[in-house]
Amino acid sequence: MSASADELTREEAARLLQWWLDAGVDTAVAEEPRRWLKAAASRASVAGLTVAEKMAPPSPAELPADYDAFRSWLEQATGLPLDRAGARRVLPHGLPGAKIMLMSSPPERDDATDGKPIGGDAWLLAAQMLAAIKLSPHEAYSASLACFHSPGARMGHPELERCGEIARRHIALVRPERLLLFGEAPTRALLGETLQQARGRVHRIEGVRTVATYHPRWLLQRPGDKALAWRDLLLLMDEL
């Protein structure tokens, strides 16, 4: 059989076939493109899910049920909200059964430097606020909604929800006489309201009398709101 100019010779066809064989294409090719990376992508997805599950904090039912175990868990647990490369752990300060518990927004640089949930000038102002309602800093238990300072990190709804679950167990184990929420984040996480919506009313969290107010950091920047914070403190202490 004679070959036209558009037809391959037997030798050319053999070389072309060998090229495809060397490329690993040794089966028939379908009309639709084959998803060669589908299996690898699925494996990567499963591997990523496994890592996420390992890093996720336990459900409320799995959280430690006594204070000492819970405190140790806070000191050692990984994968908590805002726990990432470069983050610094900031642990609660005080003793269980305190007259007042301060639950504040995630720590910032001054807090991390002092190693406390509230540090620097903000803590000095917090101490003054406590003194105004006849409480000393030693009678307060101070905790952060998230026990990590992570520069530039923002808390989304999933992080707020997980922090709220952990904070509720924290409050239940500390058993303070009163609870003061400092800032927007703990108010949203524990009450499901903005700070402006929650202010001016008494709430109950784990059976504890609770009031939400401005964080001392906010009051340092906006001293005009100190009068509003004073009303919140009076509401917290008012037995009526």
For residues 68 and 82, the model is more confident at 68
Is 139 contained in some domain? yes
Better-predicted residue by pLDDT, 204 or 149: 204
85 pLDDT exceeds 80? yes
The whole-number pLDDT of residue 111 equals: 72
pLDDT for 13: 64
| Structural domain includes residue 107 | yes
Q: Which token pair is 53?
A: 């599950």
Residue span of the structural domain in which 195 resides: 58-80+88-237
Q: What is the pTM of this model?
A: 0.73
The CA dihedral of 234, 235, 236, 239, to the nearest 10 degrees, is 100
Q: Is residue 204 part of a domain?
A: yes
Q: How confident is the model at residue 197 (pLDDT cuts 50, 70, 90)?
A: very high
Q: What pLDDT, on a 0 to 100 scale, did the predictor assign at position 116?
A: 85
Phi, psi dihedral angles at 66 (to 5 degrees): -130, 160
Domain count, the chain: 1
Q: Note whether residue 70 is domain-resident.
A: yes
pLDDT score of 60: 58
pLDDT above 80 for 19: no
Q: Cα 218–142–64 angle (5° rounding)? A: 130
Per mean pLDDT, which range of 7-16, 86-95, 100-109, 212-221 is the poorest?
A: 7-16
The answer to whether residue 115 sits within a structural domain is yes
> Average model confidence (pLDDT) for the chain?
81
The answer to whether residue 213 is domain-embedded is yes
Convert the pLDDT of each residue in 86-127 to its tens digit. Answer: 888 889 999 999 999 999 998 887 776 777 899 899 999 999
With respect to residue 160, please indicate whether it lies within any of the assigned structural domains: yes
Q: Which residue has better confidence, 33 or 14?
A: 14
- The domain that holds 124 is classified in CATH as 3.40.470.10
> Would you say residue 162 lies in a domain?
yes
Rounded average pLDDT over 223-232 = 96
Residue 79, pLDDT score: 85
pLDDT of residue 50: 35
pLDDT at 155: 79
Banded model confidence at residue 4, pLDDT cuts 50, 70, 90:
very low
